[in-house]
């Protein structure tokens, strides 16, 4: 078997295994909390008879392993159960919420990843000189700013003072793409500010590391310009570490946007999760946890696979 196929298969298998472990952690973690779903639904004043009836009806008296299997099977077939608070089907509610979050993450990624890499290349090109210091300084400043502060600053200047963009990122079904874009521009700006520095600095560090290699001198002695040397000879060898950081940040764009969504009242996964955590709606919390875990694991496996594919020794064995 081609070594790449073998390595990629191994990574995928590992990812599935990890997913299984995480699902167990989420399910039994929630299970270990005091009280159960029936208790949560009926509240403090429930009579023992009513509780017993409901438990019987919901299958809560079955062995825990059986319920875990049932829950996991349901999850895999798209049945995530119903929310306790409003009785809505979780899969349906999450569907539109996840779509909103991914929409936001997509645009933030589309701007931040190329921008971070470009800035990283420039910083490496002018290593130690003023462009490098300016780029490092500005990106460090934006990452040091807590997201809610950045959010409110952006709101204050761009929405309140200049009134260029709406302060609330309200989106609803049936909205046009252009209107949607206009609505999410402020949260996208804040997210870009948050993830830019990390990716930029990793790109810079990885390229500077490669710049010590003998083949960089070869390229310089061919008469190539510094940026050509960096782009054509250094960057292809710096992909693996950069991809890993990029994927971590992409995962953060999906999983870590809670604060930004709350600031901009954006109806995404983060808002949804926060709402239901405060109401102790455990099935929803479990479902959100599973989805976040899947995004994290999936993107990290993707990073591994890209790193494997970027290595010519693995791609083209002897």
- In the complex, the residues that contact other proteins under the rule CB under 8 A are 213-215, 217-225, 228, 233, 236-237, 310, 312-313, 316, 318
Q: Which is nearer to other proteins, 13 or 227 (CB)?
A: 227
Q: CA-CA distance, 312 to 74, in Å (whole number)?
A: 42
Minimum CB separation of residue 316 from other proteins in Å reads 5
Q: Which is nearer to other proteins, 5 or 214 (CB)?
A: 214
Minimum CB separation of residue 315 from other proteins in Å reads 8
Cβ-Cβ contacts under 8 Å for 140 (sequence gap 6 or more)? 197
Most distant CA atoms of the chain, gap in Å: 86
Minimum CB separation of residue 219 from other proteins in Å reads 7
Strands (E), 115-238: none
DSSP, collapsed to helix, strand or coil, labels residue 82 as strand
Q: CA-CA distance, 105 to 254, in Å (whole number)?
A: 6
| CA Rg value for the chain | 24
Angle at 107 between CA 105 and CA 109, to 5 degrees: 65
Q: Which is nearer to other proteins, 57 or 222 (CB)?
A: 222
Q: Which is nearer to other proteins, 39 or 311 (CB)?
A: 311
Minimum CB separation of residue 209 from other proteins in Å reads 14
Q: CA-CA distance, 149 to 153, in Å (whole number)?
A: 6
Q: Which is nearer to other proteins, 161 or 316 (CB)?
A: 316
**Residue 89's beta-bridge partner residues?**
82
Minimum CB separation of residue 4 from other proteins in Å reads 14
Q: Which is nearer to other proteins, 35 or 312 (CB)?
A: 312
Minimum CB separation of residue 214 from other proteins in Å reads 4
Question: Is there a contact between 127 and 208 (Cβ–Cβ < 8 Å)?
Answer: yes
């Amino acid at each position: 078997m081609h070594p790449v196929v073998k390595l990629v298969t191994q990574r995928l298998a590992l990812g599935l295994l990890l997913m299984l472990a995480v699902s167990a952690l989420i399910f039994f973690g929630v299970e270990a909390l005091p009280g159960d779903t029936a208790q949560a639904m009926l509240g403090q004043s429930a009579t023992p008879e009513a509780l017993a009836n409901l438990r019987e009806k919901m299958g809560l008296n079955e062995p825990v392993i059986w319920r875990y299997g049932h829950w996991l099977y349901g999850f895999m077939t798209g049945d995530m159960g119903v929310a306790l608070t409003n009785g809505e089907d979780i899969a349906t509610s999450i569907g539109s919420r996840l779509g909103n979050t991914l929409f936001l993450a997509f645009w933030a990624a589309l701007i931040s990843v190329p921008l971070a890499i470009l800035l990283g290349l420039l910083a490496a090109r002018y290593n130690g000189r003023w462009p490098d210091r300016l780029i490092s300084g500005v990106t460090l400043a934006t990452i040091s700013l807590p997201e809610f502060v950045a959010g409110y600053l952006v709101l204050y200047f761009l929405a309140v003072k200049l009134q260029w963009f709406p302060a609330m990122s309200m989106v609803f079904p049936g909205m046009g793409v252009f209107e949607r874009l206009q609505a999410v521009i402020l949260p996208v700006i804040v997210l870009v500010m948050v993830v830019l520095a990390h990716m930029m600095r990793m790109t810079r560090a990885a390229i500077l590391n490669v710049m010590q290699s003998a083949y960089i001198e070869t390229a310089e002695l061919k008469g190539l310009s510094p940026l050509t040397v960096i782009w054509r000879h250094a960057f292809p060898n710096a992909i693996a570490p950069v991809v890993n950081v990029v994927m971590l940040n992409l995962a953060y764009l999906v999983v870590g946007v809670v604060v930004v969504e709350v600031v901009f009242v954006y109806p995404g996964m983060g808002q949804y999760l926060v709402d239901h955590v405060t109401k102790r709606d455990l099935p929803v919390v479990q479902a959100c946890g599973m989805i976040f875990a899947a995004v994290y694991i999936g993107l990290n496996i993707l990073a591994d696979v890209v790193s494997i594919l970027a290595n010519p020794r693995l791609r083209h064995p002897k």
